[in-house]
Structure 1
């Protein structure tokens, strides 16, 4: 946590509710990133608020335009953004549980379709230029969203974590109902750039990313198309992903060098993900 950088608050102090509204997110800005939950480490439940982890496209509104986590422009219709405030917001562009592919096709289109965008809401979870602890940031963003009363804008409800039993029961329930998992946010932490214990994600299965470095030809019903991807982790380990693909994805597999998200259930003794299955191409990082 010592390497994390607290966002500059020079502009924030002159604005109501200690919120800053930069004309643009600085190129050096890094969004706050979540750590994976680790049993026995993240157990001081009274320090955390929880929310559902939405399977959308993470976005930042800088007061003028929508950007991806990597800082790329999102081509949203004017009507979608015109009622957003001149305050930096962070959240998920989301169409509902299990609709990530639809959300991605709408949000990442360079030529936005009005009707398609009407299925998308910007679900806010943080105010990156608010100088307060998360609990006060949450109350401020909740009040802001309610006051704006815009159909395309919502906020992600947060509740006290209370106990381990409560969180694990909610995690199981969320998974059964098609949700992606839970997020835990430290109620007393200011917004920190980069990865820290200020934000923790909990999932029944884990998601991770790897780089596509090759292909294995299919056999049997997959003869003549891709059978598996060969991917590489950041530490250099390589392995294959052979499940989770649609027929169309096998016909047109992700290109070499693409970053893909896969889901797994822990690791082998050699550090290779167990039961890895393809989830999506992370086009926000291409």
Structure 2
């Protein structure tokens, strides 16, 4: 595993040319910073004196790092101590290019001017977030053509990546943390990163977050250089799996659901059909997703026929 990581890191380090152009914030004196999680301070790490940026064609797509799904944390052994873990927020991915906020799809987010006017002139990556269990409210707010100030005052921009900057993930995180502290914008904050020491610690953290109705964990390989696209060094870990499927029929409800939707008939990307009847509130049953809509569902495992076990509705899926 270690040889594989070293080989991958070597390949990443040789990709692209590096501009030796220092970020203005990196020229300031850099102090020690302790990552805080659950009220506990971790060992301080000295900030790098400089973090030059990476050459990139401005006409290309957003420089997003996309995680892989991890089904078993033991896959990371024996290098698990090289990872940092953070809560996976139930938010909307948002990329700041130095001028505007964008959805993952590249569509502009109509954020209020006051929300972004003091943001730095270099890229940031993170999640717009209202709190656990507030995804539907958040999604409605950030997708409006005309921003509602009252809604946006409840939104935070929670950062986890410093795009297009050299240095490993730990260095990028620390540099970005330093910038966020200096900006002191109330709704701009970092997602805390906690060192992983063992599989047992990671599993305990996942269980704790699950009980608190959190989405799960994200694991970053601390020594990884920045590279956009699907990453071999970032993983998402959830207590349950989720996936998307298309609504192909709406079945009428019976009994207490008479006159409402009883279940949705769904089609997976592989062409398999199954019925989904749990996870809906009464409002959703009265106004179910239309045929052709993509929805996200959560499940525990697969049956021998390749259908999801214990599936339940999560939300209407927005590809952004």
TM-score (norm 1): 0.90
* 8 Å Cα contact 1:192-1:198 kept in structure 2: no
Matching of residue 56 in structure 1 with residue 91 in structure 2: yes
Contact in 2 for aligned 1:207/1:262 (Cα 8 Å): yes
- Asked if structure 1 preserves the Cα contact closer than 8 Å seen for 2:96 and 2:102, the reply is yes
- Pick the aligned partner of 1:80 from 89, 104, 115: 115
Distance 1:20 1:150, change over 3 A: farther
> What are structure 1's unaligned runs of at least 5 residues?
none
Range with greater deviation from structure 2 (132-141 or 76-85): 132-141
Aligned to 1:181: 216
Partner SS, residue 308 of structure 2? coil
CA contact (8 A) 1:267 1:273 kept: yes
Alignment of 1:196-235 (within 5 A): 196-235=231-270
- Counterpart of 1:41 in structure 2 is 75
Q: Do the aligned residues in 1 keep the contact of 2:17 with 2:55 (CA within 8 Å)?
A: no
Q: CA deviation at 1:22?
A: 7.9
Partner of 1:127: 162
- 1:60 touches 1:69 (CA, 8 Å); kept in 2? yes
Q: Which range moves more in the overlay, 178-187 or 227-236?
A: 227-236
Q: Is the deviation greater in 96-105 or in 120-129?
A: 96-105
Indicate if the aligned counterparts of 1:68 and 1:284 stay in contact, CA closer than 8 A: no
Q: Which moved more, 1:239-248 or 1:112-121?
A: 239-248
Q: Deviations over 1:151-172 (max 9, x none)?
A: 1200101011110010011111
- Deviation at 1:233? 1.9
What secondary structure is seen at the aligned counterpart in 2 of 1:168? helix
The alpha-carbon distance between structure 1 residues 127 and 230, as it changes in their structure 2 partners (threshold 3 A), is same
Give the structure 1 partner of residue 130 of structure 2: 95
The 2-side partners of 1:221 and 1:51 are apart by 41
Name the structure 2 match of 1:14: 21
Count of residue correspondences? 282
**TM-score if structure 2 supplies the norm length?**
0.81
- In the alignment, is residue 279 of structure 1 matched against residue 314 of structure 2? yes
Give how far 1:89 is off. 0.6
Q: Say which of 150, 153, 160 aligns to 1:115.
A: 150
| Aligned mates of 1:188, 1:199 — CA distance in 2 | 11
1:168-226 Cα deviation digits (max 9, x unpaired): 11111111122111110111112333323311111111222222222222222222232
Q: Which has the higher contact order (CA 8 A, sep 6+)?
A: 1
Q: Contact (CA 8 Å) 1:95, 1:119: kept in 2 or not?
A: yes
1:261 aligned to 2:268? no
**1:284 CA displacement:** 4.2
Higher mean alpha-carbon deviation, 237-246 vs 249-258, is at 249-258
1:248 corresponding residue in structure 2: 283
**Could you tell me how far apart the structure 2 residues matched to 1:77 and 1:160 are?**
35
Rg comparison, structure with higher value? 2
Provide structure 2 residue ranges, at least 5 long, that are not aligned to the other structure.
Answer: 24-50
How far is 1:12 from its partner?
A: 5.3
Do the aligned partners of 2:63 and 2:164 also contact (CA within 8 Å) in 1?
Answer: no
